[in-house]
């Protein structure tokens, strides 16, 4: 489980939109996984099980509270950007982060799992709990929307 933490945190930040809520989501996921470890079936993928737990918590929390959409990069981080080309990269990353947050949740999930986390379509579909075709459709729509938004940003 410890080896999964960086990936889980990255996914949590991607779902929630900011590091603080992402850390909270990651913590809730670990707590729930530990308290329900008897439900994990030996021989199945622990990472898929953990991602499903995280996704379910995220959906539950989203229903409880209306969250304001935020970028991954905090406003203060712009102060630390250097002049060695990193500034342009940080701006581009910030544009991508903002565009990701504008995607509908189902499309953002598909993009995060397949394009960021590197899951195969079938594995991502299992995590999300939908048919592979549905996941593929969400991914294509999400990717096309990102490309359109980022095309406008340049």
Residues 104 and 47 in one domain: no
Q: Which domain holds residue 47?
A: 2-64
- Is the residue at 134 inside a domain? yes
Residues 100 and 142 in one domain: yes
DSSP letters for 57-114: HHHHHHHH-PPPP--SS-GGGGGG--TTTHHHHHHHHHHHHHHHHHS-HHHHHHHIII
Share of the chain above pLDDT 90, in %: 51
Task: Round to whole Å and give the CA distance between 150 and 81.
Answer: 21
Per the CB < 8 A criterion, the answer to whether 32 and 57 are in contact is yes
- Is the residue at 74 inside a domain? no
What is the average per-residue pLDDT within 10-26? 91
- Is the residue at 130 inside a domain? yes
Residues 57 and 100 in one domain: no
Write down the pTM of the prediction. Answer: 0.54
For the segment 43-89, what is each residue's pLDDT rounded down to a tens digit?
889 999 999 999 999 888 877 764 334 444 455 555 555 555 566 66
Q: How many domains are there within the chain?
A: 2
- Is the residue at 76 inside a domain? no
Helix axes 46-64, 5-16, angle to 10 degrees: 30
For the segment 41-56, what is each residue's pLDDT rounded down to a tens digit?
888 899 999 999 999 9
CATH of the domain at 105: 1.10.10.10
């Amino acid at each position: 489980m410890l080896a999964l933490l960086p990936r889980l945190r990255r996914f949590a930040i991607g779902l929630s939109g900011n590091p603080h809520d992402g850390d909270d989501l990651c913590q809730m996921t670990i707590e729930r996984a530990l308290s329900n470890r008897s439900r994990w079936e030996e021989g199945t993928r622990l990472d898929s099980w953990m991602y499903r737990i995280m996704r379910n918590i995220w959906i539950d929390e989203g229903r409880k509270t209306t969250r304001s959409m935020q970028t991954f990069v905090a406003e203060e981080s712009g102060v630390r950007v250097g002049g060695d080309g990193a500034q342009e990269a940080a701006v581009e990353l910030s544009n991508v982060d903002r565009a990701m947050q504008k995607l509908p949740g189902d499309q953002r999930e598909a993009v995060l799992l397949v394009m960021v986390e590197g899951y195969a379509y079938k594995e991502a579909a299992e995590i999300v709990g939908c048919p592979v075709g549905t996941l593929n459709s969400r991914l294509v729509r999400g990717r096309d929307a990102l490309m359109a938004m980022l095309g406008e940003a340049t």
